[in-house]
Amino acid sequence: MTAVPCRFFDGRTSAPREATLTITPDRKVVVALVGIESRRVHDITDVRIPSRIANTPRHLLLPDGAVCEVRDNDSLDAMRARAERDPLPAGRRFERLLHALDSSWRGAAAALAATAAILYSFTQWGAPMVAGVVVAATPPEVEAVIGANVLTLFDQFNIIEPSELDPNRRNELLAAFTEMKEDAGVTETELRFYTGRRLGANAFALPGGTVIVTDELVELAENDEEIIAVLAHELGHVEGRHVMRRIAQTSSMLVVWTAFTGDVSVAGLSIFAPDRLLAQSYSRNFERDADRFAFDYLGRAGIPPTRLGDILRRLERRMGGTAGVPVWSSSHPGAEERSRSAEDAEAQARDSAEGDE
């Protein structure tokens, strides 16, 4: 510990004395007079250290009324910073608290538990809430731009190519989609066909409401009712603005995780952590909502709701865990679960129909 020289005024006599001043790591200010065995030790919190003004000498006021005049501002500030072990600005008190808690394993365990609890709560309840607010505040035009950008990216990376379906076939499906969106009252949407290439048999909704269906999916379907069932499900995602919600949820989780870990790279990893572990649950809620939307429409159109499960099961068999992760099936409940809920929906429709009679 290097001491800085200072001039010591005892507060009673006007003559200064040569002395040294040290700030110890345990936050004590030690003033030692040169030439005699005299040390004054004060707690740093009892010593008033004025702010630095360029390189003018500073006068430190000791609690007993004595004053130390220090010229070596750099050394004084360095000692003080070391002693306070506190390079953090005031706004980072939470990190300081964590650091203090880290010192004991009990504290560390408690901090970890508290952090986990807060992050879990945020991921579970906060993020969907934030996402709802963000999505409500996002104008449809902005969402449409995001969707158009996704499509451009897909195109640039050769993920999709122009559809090779027969134009008459496309027109049939477009007519069915138009009928569906008019029936459901979803106006901001359009259907587009592409060759899926790496996406394979697939259908998905983009931010802004464009629904993409691949030629491969159309070919996979055994009848039009299956395609209509898939389109109805995707229209359910459009109606709920699910894609934008997911984007907003993931982004808000990134922000919160960064705040807690103070590290963007950790937060980057954490995108996957909550997204894989917890977002799964609200992604499932979205899927259930979209299914319900689809079952409602299929019921009105006189199409058995089991058509959705039929094509999904075929899709899963076809994909069978291959490298090409299908956007559609990866984010969707298992075929078994869906078939069950479709059968429930069918039974319900039957019951209510019987009730009407």
Sequence length of the chain is: 357
Phi, psi of 43 (to 5 degrees): -70, 140
DSSP 157: T
What minimum distance in Å lies between the beta carbon of 328 and Zn ion? 7
Span of 111-119, 130-138, 178-186, 286-294 interacting with Zn ion by CB under 5 A: 286-294
Cα separation values, 190 from 201, 204, 290, Å: 19, 12, 17
E strands in 34-181: 39-43, 58-61, 67-70, 161-162
Binding mask 237-276 for Zn ion (x = CB under 5 A): ----------------------------------------
Give the span between the Cα atoms of 270 and 256, in whole angstroms.
10
Query: What is the identity of the amino acid at 146?
Result: I
Minimum separation from the CB atom of position 294 to Zn ion (A): 9
Question: Minimum Å distance from CB 242 to Zn ion?
Answer: 8
**DSSP 8-state class, residue 64:** T
Nearer to Zn ion, 58 or 245 (CB): 245
Q: Which is nearer to Zn ion, 216 or 239 (CB)?
A: 239
Q: Which is nearer to Zn ion, 8 or 177 (CB)?
A: 177
Q: Which stretch binds Zn ion (CB under 5 A): 27-35, 61-69, 152-160, 282-290?
A: 282-290
- Which range, of 45-53, 219-227, 279-287, 312-320, touches Zn ion by CB under 5 A? 279-287
Nearer to Zn ion, 23 or 221 (CB): 221
Q: How far apart are alpha carbons 323 and 281 in whole angstroms?
A: 24
Give the count of beta carbons closer than 10 Å to the beta carbon of residue 86: 13
- The first and second tokens of residue 338, run together, are 């869906």
Residue 87 CB burial class (10 angstroms; 0-12, 13-18, ≥19): exposed
In what helix (H) or strand (E) does residue 89 lie, and over which residues does it extend? none
- Judged by beta carbon, residue 143 or residue 287, the one nearer Zn ion is 287
**Nearer CB in complex with Zn ion: 76/290:** 290
For residues 130 and 290, which CB has a smaller minimum distance to Zn ion in the complex?
290
How many angstroms separate the CA atoms of 329 and 343, rounded?
A: 19
Q: Where are the alpha helices (DSSP H) in 24-126?
A: 73-84, 93-102, 105-121
Q: Please list every residue from 9 through 28 that binds Zn ion, using CB under 5 A.
A: none
Residue 331 C-beta: closest distance to Zn ion, Å: 6
Closest approach of Zn ion to the CB of residue 301, in Å: 19
Using the Cα atoms of residue 277, residue 281, residue 282 and residue 287 in order, give the sign of their dihedral: positive
Q: Which of residues 287-326 bind Zn ion (CB under 5 A)?
A: 287, 290
Write down the least CB distance from residue 83 to Zn ion, Å. Answer: 59
Closer residue to Zn ion, CB minimum distance, 71 or 292: 292
The residue range among 13-21, 98-106, 273-281, 283-291 that interacts with Zn ion, by the rule CB under 5 A, is 283-291
Question: To the nearest whole angstrom, how small is the minimum distance from the Cβ of residue 332 to Zn ion?
Answer: 5
Tell the smallest beta-carbon distance from residue 311 to Zn ion (Å).
Answer: 13
The burial class, CB within 10 Å (0-12 / 13-18 / 19+), for 338 is: buried
Please report, as ranges, the residues that interact with Zn ion according to CB under 5 A: 287, 290
